[in-house]
Amino acid sequence: MEFIDNRGAPPELIRKIHEKMETCESVKRVVFDAFIEDLKGDMGAFDPETGTIYIDMGACLMRKDWMKKGIMYIPNVWFNLMMTVFHEITHAAQLDEELGLSELHSLPKHYEYEATAIAEHMLMDWAKNNPIPTLAEMGWVGDQIKLLLNKLYAQMPEVVNEEIDLQGTDIVAHAKEAAQASKEYSQDHETALLLKQINEGMVGAKVNNTMYLTAYEAIDMDHVVHGETQEVIV
């Protein structure tokens, strides 16, 4: 398998692709670039004809969907990158299994949902054992984030300092915002219970009197088990 890295991809991402590729034969090439015109703002794509996965690191910097879950900007970008890699690898695996799919122009919705669900699982699995890389470990993406944070500093120094201080840890979300954006903890008494558990050191983390959640807890707030509200997923 060949890597074409036109900008400088984060080494952790490349490591992870190598690991996943051992089980996926149809991927011949992974291209890392930014603002790829043909992708029209999508973060990634898999071309079954050439066996090429495209990762658009520029689009990964722009999309802020994770922030709606209370997740901070740097982990938001990192999750975009990892999810894109995992999502496209899953598409390649889907096509390996059902060759007829490659003739379709775009995949049926079911395959999209499946790819996203599997990618989220892979992301959670990764988050269990790894901190978010620092900006210095994120290659081109890290450089872009530094430029952006520098520009933002005059307007919101506290937000920027918080992003910088927490880089390289597994702390990714403001607990209160994340709770209120979730289904399971959005009621006031539920949010209060979560904050109490963080205060007691059962989950999350407390830094400078602010309550946070770790990546593993924040990625899928509605399924992670927290203290009393245990739930079994089958």
Q: Work out the burial of residue 175: count CB atoms within 10 Å of its CB; fewer than 13 is exposed, 13-18 middle, 19 or more buried.
A: buried
Comparing CB distances to Zn ion, the nearer of 76 and 90 is: 90
Nearest to 210 by CA among 158, 148, 141: 158
SS3 sequence of 205-220: EEECCEEEEEHHHHHC
Q: How many residues bind Zn ion (CB under 5 A)?
A: 2
Q: Token pair for residue 148?
A: 């952006």
Instruction: Supply the DSSP string of 47-90, one letter for each residue.
Output: ETTTTEEEEEHHHHHH--GGGGGTB-HHHHHHHHHHHHHHHHHH
Q: How near is the Cβ of 132 to Zn ion at its closest, in Å? A: 24
Distance CA 106, CA 191 (A): 41
Of 9 and 115, nearer to Zn ion (C-beta) is 115
Work out how close the CB of 112 gets to Zn ion at its nearest, in angstroms, rounded to a whole number: 5
Residue placing its CB nearer to Zn ion in the complex, 87 or 174: 87
Smallest gap from residue 29 Cβ to Zn ion (A): 18
Nearer to Zn ion, 21 or 195 (CB): 21
In the bound complex, what is the minimum distance in angstroms from residue 95's beta carbon to Zn ion? 11
Shortest Cβ 14–Zn ion spacing (Å) = 21
Query: Considering only residues 115-154, where is the footprint of Zn ion by CB under 5 A?
Result: 115
In what helix (H) or strand (E) does residue 154 lie, and over which residues does it extend?
A: none
173 closest CA partner among 207, 123, 214: 214
Q: How far is the CB of 174 from Zn ion (least distance, A)?
A: 29
Which residues ranging from 93 to 122 are in contact with Zn ion (CB under 5 A)?
Answer: 112, 115
Decide whether 31 or 115 has the Cβ nearer to Zn ion: 115
- Please report the beta strands in 127-234, taking only residues with DSSP state E, as ranges in sequence order: 171-174, 205-207, 210-214
Classify 121 as helix, strand or coil: helix
d(CA 136, CA 27): 29
Pick 112 or 190: Cβ nearer Zn ion: 112
Q: Which residues bind Zn ion (CB under 5 A)?
A: 112, 115
